[in-house]
Amino acid sequence: MPAVRVKRLALAALLLVPLLAQAEEPAWARVDEAPLLLAQVSPQEWLAQAPAQSQGPPAAPAGSATAGVGQVTHLSGTLMARRADGTVKLLSVKSDVVEGDTLATQDGTYARVKFTDGAEVVLRPTSQLKVDAYQFTDGKPSSDNVVLSLLKGGLRKVTGLIGRRNRDSVRVAAPNATIGIRGTHFGMLLCQSDCGAIRLPGGTVPQNGLHLDVAAGQVTLSNPSGTQLVNAGQFAYAPADVKAPPIIVPPGQGIQVTMPPAIARNDTGGRTMGANRNDDGCAIN
C-alpha cells in the first residue's frame, strides 16, 4: 500500500475517534427494571427507582399497536408516563398518550389530556392514572372500549363520544370501587392515608376510600357490596373497606375536585373543566 494512502487512512481514523466518543445511546433506549407497584410509590420515588428515562421513539403511525389514544393539552409541571414495555417518558404539551400508559404527576403538577373520542381528563398533583384500554373507531361503536384506573390521587373527567353512544363501554376504576358512566362530568379523589393536607368543614381529614362529585349527568359507584346511582349535584363515597357499600354524602360534607383556571380553561373555545365551585361541597385543588 502506498505510503501516502497509509497516512491518509491514519489521519481519518484519528478524526473519527472523538466523534465516536461523543456518540450517545438512543434516547428511546429501553429501561430494564423490575415492575413497580405504582399505587404504593410517589411520582418522585417512581422516577428515582428508574435507572434511566426514555424520551420515546418517533410517533407510531395511526392504527399501529402504539398509536396515540390521547394528547396532553395543558401542563403545569412534570408529567411522566410508564409505557407497557417498561420504558419511562417525560411528557410535554402535545405529547401522545398511548394505550397501556401509566401517567404520574409530580407534586404541584396539573395535567390535562384529551382523548381521541373527545373525552378529557385532568389529573391533580401526585396522581397516577393507568390507561388500561382505549379503543375508539369513528363510525364503529361495536369496537368501543375504555378502561381507566385511578391508582393514586384525584382527577376530573368529561365524557367523550364513546360515553354518549355506548356508555356501557366506559369504566373508571379505583382499588376499592368502579364508576360506570352515564354521559357525565365528575371528579374523583382517592384517599389512601395520604389526604392529611385536606380539611373538611369542621377541620376533619377525609376518610380513606374514594370520594366522588358529579357536575353533570349520572354515574354509578359500585363495589362488591352494592351500587349507588349518583346524580348531577350529588356527592358520594365508597369506603376503603369493600364490605361496606357506597353511599350518598349529604350536602356540605362532600368533596369536590377543582382545578386551577389555567388548566380548567380551554383557550380555543372548548369546554371548561372543574373551575367552578359547588358551594354544597368542600372544594379542593
Rounded distance between C-alpha atoms, residue 259 and residue 7, angstroms: 68
Provide the residue type at 81 as one letter: A
For residue 73, how many other CB atoms are within 10 A of its CB? 19
pLDDT at 66: 64
Residue 282: band (very low, low, confident or very high) from pLDDT cuts 50, 70, 90: low
Percent of the chain residues past pLDDT 70, beyond the cut = 70
Return the C-alpha cell found at 17: 475517534
pTM, two decimal places: 0.73
pLDDT at 285: 62
Residue 37: band (very low, low, confident or very high) from pLDDT cuts 50, 70, 90: very low
Return the C-alpha cell found at 241: 373497606
Rounded distance between C-alpha atoms, residue 238 and residue 242, angstroms: 8
**pLDDT for 40 beyond 90:** no
Mean pLDDT of the chain: 77
Return the C-alpha cell found at 225: 357490596
**pLDDT for 164 beyond 90:** no
Domain boundaries, the chain: 37-284
Return the C-alpha cell found at 128: 397516577
pLDDT at 184: 84
What is the Rg, in whole angstroms, of the alpha carbon atoms belonging to the chain? 23
| Contact indicator for 131, 97 with CB cutoff of 8 Å | yes
Return the C-alpha cell found at 18: 472523538
Type and span of the H or E element at 188: strand 185-191
What's the maximum distance between 2 C-alpha atoms anywhere in the chain? 94
232 vs 50: which has the higher pLDDT: 232
Tell me what the mean pLDDT of segment 160-186 comes to. Answer: 88
| Contact indicator for 170, 219 with CB cutoff of 8 Å | no
Residues counted in the chain: 285
CATH architecture of 37-284: Sandwich (2.60)
pLDDT at 16: 35
**pLDDT tens for each residue of 204-252:** 889 999 999 999 999 999 999 999 999 999 999 999 999 999 999 998 8
